[in-house]
Amino acid sequence: MIQLNNGVYEIGGIPVSQLAEKYDTPIYIYDTGIMERQYNLLKDAFSGTNTRIKFACKALNNINVLKFFKKIGVELDTVSIQEVWTGIRAGFDPKKILYTPNCVSMEEIELAVKEGVQINIDNISILEQFGHKFGSTVPVCIRINPHIMAGGNEKISTGHIDSKFGISIYQMRHLERVVKSEKIRVNGLHMHTGSDILDVDVFLRAAEILFEAAEHFPDLEFLDFGSGFKVPYKPDDYFTDVKELGAQLTEAFKVFCKKYGRELELWFEPGKFLVSQSGTFLAKVNVIKQTTATVFVGVDSGLNHLIRPMLYNSYHHLVNVSNPEGKQRLYTVVGYICETDTFGWDRKLSEVREGDIIAFQNAGAYGFTMSSNYNSRFRPAEVLVHKGKDYLIRKRENMDDLLRNQVEVEMGG
């Protein structure tokens, strides 16, 4: 997260220009101070319940970030066996890792069972296979689809009626029969309605659905409400009021637990909320190109490094950190990939010159983890800023990395 201090843009107290010069561009930079601030906001908001916060590591899976979260008390949410293995390598107790895959094979789920993590299943076919193999010997969480549209964007909403995620609430009778016939021990219920939820009432409506479903399962230990907390992307942007949500959901949860007959754990699995604001992506201006209608700023990056604006139409606030006092002008910022990779149309930036550094804010979530080698471009370096010091946590790729797994063969004829 960049801050302007005495005319100099800084990240965690370190001048951005210093970081760009030391590590070159393009580059992802993460501030642990912001990560810890976001965790404390959630922890404080739900302090009235037995709450466990699990970082959705698909958002930012560098092992150093995982180690930092483990150090401050965060647990882990994973969606693949590879994320499970990375979490274990980072030192997490498998019992504190939630594994929530989607459309994976039973063989992968069995690998996760061997690691001893909490299994979360979101379709009846796999649940039947799981029950047939493990019965009551391995507890399982079940992901429910509450059929609630969250966030207003179908690309990041996962709880609506056409979503591939979760078991429909309208299949509850079928679900109950499968659980009973296979003697499955259900120790948790889970839902995740999607990202960028503004309205606290969306959480509360979904909570009532989950509470009602929970009454059919007598051996529950926890309810997992996923995440979806919105962070601000623009100046004066809207965001989820987690303090208000914490107060209202805590009250509703306590009422439910009293009715259920014992106190359960309340789980959340934020990704974007914990790391989005911590991340800044830096790119250098290669060229200023003026057409009859637009002034383009072409940078040394593209959709291969930050695909969210093209994939989700997401907004990332852009700042020319090299010219903080410059006159405001209108630019369209684009990448160097041989595709239409526009980062932002008609953005007001301090006058941009070739060689300037453009900072992309809110780049900590789903930036590097969704990057690629498209156009045979190298993926960028990653740097962690912690207590005023900067640490290289991923080297910039080179040609050896690009060709490492390619096999050169001699083809006859």
The question of whether 338 is a catalytic residue gets the answer yes
* Cα-Cα-Cα-Cα dihedral sign, residues 37, 43, 46, 51: positive
- Percent above pLDDT 70 for the chain: 95
Q: What confidence tens digit (pLDDT) does each residue in 182-217 have? A: 999 999 999 976 656 667 788 888 899 999 999 999
- Percent above pLDDT 90 for the chain: 85
Nearest Cα residue to 14 out of 280, 284, 351, 272? 280
Above 80 in pLDDT, residue 20? yes
**Domain boundaries along the sequence of the chain:** 2-29+278-403, 46-273
Q: What confidence tens digit (pLDDT) does each residue in 311-370 have? A: 999 999 999 999 999 999 999 999 999 999 999 999 999 999 999 999 999 999 999 999
* Confidence category of residue 33, pLDDT binned at 50, 70, 90: very high
Q: What confidence tens digit (pLDDT) does each residue in 135-144 have? A: 999 999 999 9
Q: What is the pTM of this model?
A: 0.93
pLDDT value at position 285? 98
CA dist 92 and 97 (Å) reads 7
Above 60 in pLDDT, residue 109? yes
> Mean pLDDT over all residues of the chain?
93
Average pLDDT for 41-69: 97
Using a 10 angstrom Cβ sphere, with 0-12 exposed, 13-18 middle and 19 or more buried, the burial of residue 171 is: middle
* Confidence category of residue 123, pLDDT binned at 50, 70, 90: very high
* Confidence category of residue 153, pLDDT binned at 50, 70, 90: very low
pLDDT value at position 166? 87
CA dist 123 and 209 (Å) reads 18
Average pLDDT for 4-19: 96
* Confidence category of residue 268, pLDDT binned at 50, 70, 90: very high
* Confidence category of residue 150, pLDDT binned at 50, 70, 90: low
Other CB atoms within 10 A of residue 262 CB: 8
pLDDT value at position 393? 98
Average pLDDT for 116-134: 96
pLDDT value at position 195? 54
Above 50 in pLDDT, residue 154? no
Contact 77/269 with Cβ under 8 angstroms?
yes
Q: Which of 103, 141, 257, 338 is catalytic?
A: 338
Above 70 in pLDDT, residue 298? yes
Task: Tokens for 168, please give them.
Answer: 């429909």
pLDDT value at position 156? 38
pLDDT value at position 205? 86
Superfamily of domain 2-29+278-403: Lyase, Ornithine Decarboxylase; Chain A, domain 1 (2.40.37.10)
pLDDT value at position 400? 98
3-state helix/strand/coil string of the chain:
CEEEECCEEEECCEEHHHHHHHHCCCEEEEEHHHHHHHHHHHHHHCCCCCEEEEEECCCCCCHHHHHHHHHHCCEEEECCHHHHHHHHHCCCCHHHEEECCCCCCHHHHHHHHHHCCEEEECCHHHHHHHHHHHCCCCCEEEEEECCCCCCCCCCCECCCCCCCCCEEHHHHHHHHHHHHHCCCCEEEEECCCECCECCHHHHHHHHHHHHHHHCCCCCCCEEECCCCECCCCCCCCCCCCHHHHHHHHHHHHHHHHHHHCCCCEEEECCCHHHHCCCEEEEEEEEEEEECCCCEEEEECCCCCCCCHHHHCCCCCCEEECCCCCCCEEEEEEECCCCCCCEEEEEEEEECCCCCCEEEECCCCCCCHHHCCCHHHCCCCEEEEEECCEEEEEECCCCHHHHHCCCCCCCCCC
* Confidence category of residue 121, pLDDT binned at 50, 70, 90: very high
Average pLDDT for 251-274: 96
Q: Which fold has domain 46-273?
A: TIM Barrel (3.20.20)
